[in-house]
Structure 1
């Protein structure tokens, strides 16, 4: 049975060029980068090289890049690190965070933890397409607002937020308000220059851009005060103690370099065309199918449907039995039986949210694979609707 992978938003395969760059650091160049001998210095040099590549991609200084174990850790370091630093310096100061209802759990849960510690958090709503209004952010600002965190592109519905516009609003305020964005899904397809976006903190993940799992990065604008989450060694300018994952960091640097390749940018146009074909054909072939999220302000590889009368997880399982890998939403919370908080924020009911299917395309998706998917999906939805007793 042919295997068709349409879950690139969950993770991506390691690019062959990335793997080749990593291999020496699993073999002969295995030194600890903190060691002063030749083995260690070669490893340190490789980290420095990767740090420069990530910095060049973001348009910042290498000293502003902190490597982490994941984007989840990067999000936590940005949010908890900033707030905890402020709390330790000004113990009685009231602090306020603004975020949205459709953020990744790596942002929402740290905010919820900080709420229990007395921090005020505003969770802004989004419209039916999943877009936050810049005016809503401006209205929510207060004298105690320290941080705004808005995801650049949503991992479930692909909606792209107006980050640069938000950045301009925050920059115009009298009081310094720090701006964080989770750019994990955006990095493959969107402008990530931190000056153009106006952000102070930005999170990335290697395994979403054809790099290895287990390594992330946080851009920290010079002068942004963070308290580390991990202590014991002072690595990464004191913000992330622990021997660096040299192999993973090297792979991260190679992956970032490759997504800037002009050939990759041409491939992204093809991905958008395949996405548009799937949307058009599915809405035509399957009655009562709904596209979740914005059609215009959307990542070129993301599609999220709801099919009344067909349970999303059952669709994923049925497609998997046909050799096609998809998902219902975030892979990070796929074991949860709760309906997607993102889809609920769009106004879907619990039942409607449970009928969702996320299809995400990537660098290696072919037209033939898309045609196979379009041939298989209608019969899968029809059969599941018959089983559930749903009447059109």
Structure 2
């Protein structure tokens, strides 16, 4: 059995040792219910409040973190809570006359919600993107007016790594309609690209733990004070009635520890080097390869990239690499069960031959250069074999 070389960190990440250590300690010692009236329960409540304050600082939010940070089970729940929570409070007449705006390259947790509202008769404006995955600010300005109820734009795309200019978009949206709710799914960007919810005028942001070497089953949303939403889950009234259910203390402290792990500048420096190395190696070793997404390093995430290899089927290459112990993907893990594939590649206008040959490579704070080097060597070697085989059977 080959040693595992894991380069699919945009799908999920291995929990960092310090995350596991803090969670295990919490499982053994901090098992009290935060809603309990006795001292250990109150202590757990303070632990959660401290984690919320840390998360709020990471997104440069202001105000009461205890009320504006709401813990969830992950990114999908968070997107649904914010989008549905806002829209389901609207009067039917407002939904009938209003519009909601999103992009052509959203994660399924946003796209499927918008499709659901579209089926129910709500007007949806789907913003196109250019060949690098960027929304044109002019298109956004044209889409937003006094009837726009909500805009949702993914901060960092989970396949291209495109880092949208949220501050520019926030100004456009609020200048044209101060009452429009501005949301961003920032699951892939959190701790990898800078975010300032105040400068970007964001009203809601979705975050997740397992993309940054934290545990699965924990996420959070930022909800700007003053925006009432309808809960998805009713019950005991935790999280100020917005997300009932006993708090996942162990997941919360694990998420908090993961944020600390990613706060070192050294992490991002390494990931930038990894991405550049992979891009350079693939384009030098293989002909007819396109590195998708932005060329400008400042406008992309260093943690995820896609390469389109002409003459090779991405799924076949994935399994060839898997046989060598190297794990990559062909796109979003959350889209693999959907009939419609290659949504992002179609949106950026990629030709069919390159679309079929697209693979995604992604890194985490635990990824080593040895992993990256071995992984890209295997990808190149297997791609060359598949191309030779394709020529032979022709």
TM tier, smaller: over 0.9
Indicate the residue corresponding to 1:277 in structure 2.
Answer: 277
Indicate the residue corresponding to 2:376 in structure 1.
Answer: 374
**Per-residue deviation, 1:92:** 6.7
Indicate the residue corresponding to 1:142 in structure 2.
Answer: 145
Contact preservation (8 Å) 1:278, 1:370: yes
Indicate the residue corresponding to 1:70 in structure 2.
Answer: 74
* Other structure's SS at 1:237 match: helix
**Per-residue deviation, 1:391:** 9.6
**Per-residue deviation, 1:53:** 1.3
Contact preservation (8 Å) 1:312, 1:355: yes
Give the number of equivalent residue pairs: 388
**Per-residue deviation, 1:69:** 0.8
* Other structure's SS at 1:185 match: coil
Question: C-alpha separation between the residues in 2 aligned to 1:170 and 1:288?
Answer: 40
Question: C-alpha separation between the residues in 1 aligned to 2:376 and 2:215?
Answer: 30
Q: List aligned pairs for 1:14-29, cutoff 5 A.
A: 14-29=15-30
Question: C-alpha separation between the residues in 2 aligned to 1:207 and 1:272?
Answer: 20
Question: Which stretch shows the higher mean deviation, 90-99 or 146-155?
Answer: 90-99
Question: Which stretch shows the higher mean deviation, 180-189 or 40-49?
Answer: 40-49
Indicate the residue corresponding to 1:180 in structure 2.
Answer: 183
1:155 aligns with 2:172: no
Indicate the residue corresponding to 2:205 in structure 1.
Answer: 202
The partner residue of 1:232 within 206, 231, 235 is 235
**Per-residue deviation, 1:314:** 1.1
Indicate the residue corresponding to 1:346 in structure 2.
Answer: 348
* Other structure's SS at 2:100 match: strand
Indicate the residue corresponding to 2:88 in structure 1.
Answer: 84
Indicate the residue corresponding to 2:55 in structure 1.
Answer: 54
Alignment deviations for residues 265-324 of structure 1 (CA, whole Å, 9 cap, x no partner): 122112101211111121111111111111212211222011112111111111111111
Contact preservation (8 Å) 1:154, 1:160: yes
* Other structure's SS at 1:253 match: helix
TM-score by length of 2: 0.93
Contact preservation (8 Å) 1:309, 1:390: no
Contact preservation (8 Å) 2:100, 2:151: yes
The alignment yields a C-alpha RMSD, in angstroms, of: 1.9
* Other structure's SS at 2:176 match: coil
Name stretches of at least 5 consecutive residues in structure 1 with no aligned partner: none
Contact preservation (8 Å) 1:153, 1:160: yes
Contact preservation (8 Å) 1:200, 1:219: yes
Question: C-alpha separation between the residues in 2 aligned to 1:9 and 1:390?
Answer: 35
Indicate the residue corresponding to 1:334 in structure 2.
Answer: 336
Indicate the residue corresponding to 1:102 in structure 2.
Answer: 105
Question: C-alpha separation between the residues in 1 aligned to 2:275 and 2:243?
Answer: 39
1:44 aligns with 2:63: no
Question: C-alpha separation between the residues in 2 aligned to 1:367 and 1:128?
Answer: 29
Question: C-alpha separation between the residues in 2 aligned to 1:349 and 1:233?
Answer: 52
Distance 1:92 1:71, change over 3 A: closer
Alignment deviations for residues 103-138 of structure 1 (CA, whole Å, 9 cap, x no partner): 000101111111122211101110111111111000
* Other structure's SS at 1:219 match: strand
Indicate the residue corresponding to 2:123 in structure 1.
Answer: 120
Contact preservation (8 Å) 1:74, 1:217: yes
1:10 aligns with 2:11: yes
**Per-residue deviation, 1:6:** 0.9
Contact preservation (8 Å) 2:7, 2:375: no
Question: C-alpha separation between the residues in 1 aligned to 2:155 and 2:52?
Answer: 22
**Per-residue deviation, 1:36:** 1.2
Indicate the residue corresponding to 1:317 in structure 2.
Answer: 319
Distance 1:189 1:221, change over 3 A: same
Question: C-alpha separation between the residues in 2 aligned to 1:116 and 1:284?
Answer: 47
Distance 1:247 1:92, change over 3 A: closer
TM-score by length of 1: 0.94
Indicate the residue corresponding to 1:292 in structure 2.
Answer: 292
**Per-residue deviation, 1:350:** 4.6
**Per-residue deviation, 1:15:** 1.7
* Other structure's SS at 1:110 match: helix
Name stretches of at least 5 consecutive residues in structure 2 with no aligned partner: none
**Per-residue deviation, 1:385:** 2.2
Question: C-alpha separation between the residues in 2 aligned to 1:223 and 1:391?
Answer: 64
Question: C-alpha separation between the residues in 2 aligned to 1:268 and 1:27?
Answer: 33
